[in-house]
Amino acid sequence: MKAILYADGAARGNPGPAGAGAVLLDADGHVVAELTKHLGTATNNVAEYTALIVGLEEAKRRGFDEIEVHMDSKLVVEQMNGRWKIKHPNMKPLAIRAGELWAAFPRRSISHVPREENLIADALSNRAIDEAK
C-alpha cells in the first residue's frame, strides 16, 4: 500500500514557538490523517524533522509499505537523500530517528516541493503553534 506524505515544520522566530504538521494521503489522494504536534520553543529545522517523523510514524502505524514524501525543506530532503551532511549535533538524533523510520519502507522517495505545493502541511504546523496558546 502506498502513502503520500506532505510534511512541514514552522517556528516563529528561530528558535521560537514551533509546531509540526503533516498530511497523509492514500494512493488515490484521499486524506488518511492530518497530524499536528506542538513543540514548544524550537528551531525551524527541528520542526521540519519532527514533521517528517510524525508523518512516517503514522504511515508505519497504518501499515503502509511504500511512501512518497514531499517537503519544502531543502535541508531535510537533501540530508535524507544523503547529499548533505548533518553537521549540527542537535539535529543528529532527529535525523537518526527519521532514518530508522525511513528504512522501514521498502519503497520510498522524498522530494523538495515549493511552499505553494505544501500548503496543507504548512497550515497544520501553524495550527500546532496556535492551539497551544
What pLDDT is attached to residue 132?
A: 80
Distance CA 127, CA 31 (A): 17
The domain spanning residue 48 has which CATH number?
3.30.420.10
Distance CA 85, CA 78 (A): 9
Sheet architecture: strand order including 66-71: 31-42, 16-26, 2-11, 66-71, 107-112
Number of domains in the chain: 1
What pLDDT is attached to residue 90?
A: 86
Distance CA 49, CA 42 (A): 11
Strands 16-26 and 2-11: antiparallel
What pLDDT is attached to residue 10?
A: 97
pLDDT of the chain, 133 residues: tens digit per residue:
999 999 999 999 989 999 999 999 999 999 999 999 999 999 999 999 999 999 999 999 999 999 999 999 999 999 999 999 999 898 999 999 999 999 999 999 999 999 999 999 999 999 999 998 6
Cis omega (within 30 of 0) for bond into 114: no
Name residue 7's beta-bridge partners.
22, 71
- pTM of this prediction? 0.97
**HSE, side-chain direction, 13 A CA sphere, residue 20:** 23
Please give the residue range of the domain that contains residue 39. Answer: 2-130
Q: How would you label 1-33 residue by residue, b for 16+ Cβ within 10 Å and e otherwise?
A: eebbbbbbbbbeeebebbbbbbbbbeeeeeeeb
